[in-house]
Structure 1
Amino acid sequence: MADDIIDVQVKDSEQAQQLKTVGWISYLLHLVVAVAAVVPSAQPSIGLLLIALVIDLVKKSDAEGTWQASHFSWRIRSVLWAGVLYVVTLPLFFLLYLPGAIAWLVISIWFLYRIVRGMVDMNASRPVGLPR
């Protein structure tokens, strides 16, 4: 009976570590894209962002019921909101370039903030998005 409990704890610990590794990989991919979005003329492929999004969508169910679930949702929501905001502000580039560039810079800084905040909370092994 005690061996069964130890086996479950070891398995849970291994799964938690695997989820944390996946989370770090995803955050690092997001970070590369977020930093490049703020730095002029340093645009990595949107493929990195899509890879990170797919990783998060696939592994999100594995994190259900753990503190890491908030991180998967946080990253998915960050990408989706940034994507929507970029698309909504795209016409500004066609009408007036400067307002569009400013809007995209603000969105990029917001996205970078969300990724860094998530990384800080991940490093502390706590859920993200909770008031401090």
Structure 2
Amino acid sequence: MSETDFATFDAKTSADRTVMHVLYGMHTIAWASLGTLAVIALIVNYIKRADEHDAVYAAHHGYMIATFWWTIFWLLLTSPLYLLLIFPGVVAHAIVGFWYLYRCIKGWLRFDAGRPPR
């Protein structure tokens, strides 16, 4: 079995940290763009996660990806509530939106502290 030379991996730079902050910011304000920023950030998350060697950064990319897909799942699951009356659907989607915002802010704060998202 070959040994991995961890000295060949590049250390994290301030640019890497800035990219993560921008991605968290895009996910957090995605509601203002009707989700377009979240989709763009999701694509970047997938690209960056594939090349990531730092466990904390990889965990945060995975956390943002999971948050996005769980949000889509819950939005689709609660969409039929609009058929009953408008109000239950609005309430359900507002709850999902607050949950998404909570996850983004929680992950962002944990990343800023240098901790894994969970």
Call closer, same or farther: CA 1:27–1:13 in 2, change over 3 Å: closer
Cα deviation per residue 1:67-114 (whole Å; 9 max; x = unaligned)? 111100110000000001101111111222111111111111110000
Distance 2:17 2:52 in 1: 10
User: Does the CA-based 8 Å contact 1:60-1:72 persist in structure 2?
Assistant: yes
Structure 2 regions of 5+ residues with no counterpart? 1-6
Q: Within 1, Cα distance between the matches of 2:84 and 2:64? A: 31
Q: Is the 8 A contact 1:30 1:48 kept in 2?
A: yes
Paired residue total = 113
Separation (CA, whole Å) in 2 of partners of 1:45 and 1:61: 27
Cα shift readout 1:1-20 (whole Å, capped 9, x = no counterpart): xxxxxx857x3233xx4432
Q: CA RMSD in A?
A: 2.0
2:12 corresponding residue in structure 1: 13
Whole-Å Cα distance in 2 between the matches of residues 65 and 31 of structure 1? 23
In 1, the alpha carbon distance for the partners of 2:115 and 2:16 equals: 13
Kindly state the Cα deviation for residue 26 of structure 1 after the two structures are TM-superposed.
0.8
Q: Quick one: which amino acid aligns to residue 115 of structure 2?
A: R
TM-score by length of 2: 0.85
- Name 1:30's counterpart in structure 2: 27
State the shift of 1:44 in Å: 1.8
Shift of 1:30: 0.7
The 5 A counterparts of 1:114-129 are: 114-129=103-118
Q: Which of 68, 76, 79 is matched with 1:90 structurally?
A: 79
Residue 50 (structure 2) aligns with = 61
SS at match of 1:63: coil
**Whole-angstrom CA distance in 1 between matches of 2:20 and 2:71:** 19
Consecutive aligned runs of 4 or more in structure 1 exceeding 3 Å deviation: none
User: How far, CA to CA, are the matches of 1:61 and 1:98 in structure 2?
Assistant: 41
More helix by share: 1
Q: Percent identity?
A: 27
- Any gaps of 5 or more consecutive residues in structure 1? 1-6, 37-42
Pair 1:104-2:107 in alignment = no
